[in-house]
Amino acid sequence: MNHIHKTSRYFALGLMLALLSGMMLFGLTRAAHADDRGSRQREFQDSRYNHDRHYPTRGQVVREVPRDRRVVVHGGARYYFSRGVWYRPQGPRFAIIMPPVGLFVPFLPPYYATIWLLGVPYYYANEVYYAHRGDGYVVVEPPKGEVSQAPPPADQMFIYPRQGQSERQQADDRYACHRWAVSQTGYDPTHPPGAPEIQTSQKRADYQRAMGACLDGRGYTVK
């Protein structure tokens, strides 16, 4: 009889442990699904300028940054960048943030939209605007004014990238040549003319020649 009672107790104990394990597994599974739903809810789609990319919303804190991160130092602080998202250390973890204006980077996000304002290109991704600066790019305030996604006409200049330059390289080269041509001629077609029409026409012609020479030297055919 004692043997039967012990067997019954063991059976009951095993049944209780199995039920408890099942309940714990069920709870963990529901928590995992809740975390998955929360992760999806903490993303947003950036559709501005037909960018159409998904990013995690700012303010979240994560345990670690992706392995493909790039490190940028600004103002004595370290920032981490990966796939269009910026992180900053917060204790032992990392907060998803908006990068500070003035932060200089030698790269652009892997996916970005190019917009134009007064002949100047800006690069946009994840609600952050970048502008060309020196040998890299700098985070800037959103440009004020009516922007366009199509490059402005260069006074009827037709420019062909004979070396197969990418759209990004074309925009960078064109902006660099524009600044050089302005510095050489004193004429900026993006600003209203302040001189008589005859002088303006001459300066415009000088500007076009300077642009053409600069772009030709960078591997473009200009007509």
Specify whether the CB–CB gap between 126 and 109 falls below 8 A: yes
Which residue matches tokens 């992706």? 66
The single-letter DSSP state of residue 157 is: B
The rounded percent of the chain whose pLDDT value lies above 90 is 30
pTM score, whole prediction: 0.56
List, for residues 124-183, the tens digit of each pLDDT value.
Answer: 999 999 988 877 899 999 988 888 876 655 555 678 888 888 887 888 888 888 888 888
Q: Which residues is 78 bridged to in the sheet?
A: 73
Token digits of residue 176: 């660099």
The single-letter DSSP state of residue 153 is: P
Provide CB contacts within 8 A for 99, sequence distance 6+. 79, 86, 128, 139
pLDDT computed for residue 37 by the predictor? 44
Residue 34 has pLDDT above 60, yes or no: no
Provide CB contacts within 8 A for 146, sequence distance 6+. 117
List, for residues 54-104, the tens digit of each pLDDT value.
Answer: 999 999 999 999 999 999 999 999 999 999 999 999 999 999 999 999 999
Q: What confidence category does residue 10 fall into, taking pLDDT thresholds of 50, 70 and 90?
A: low
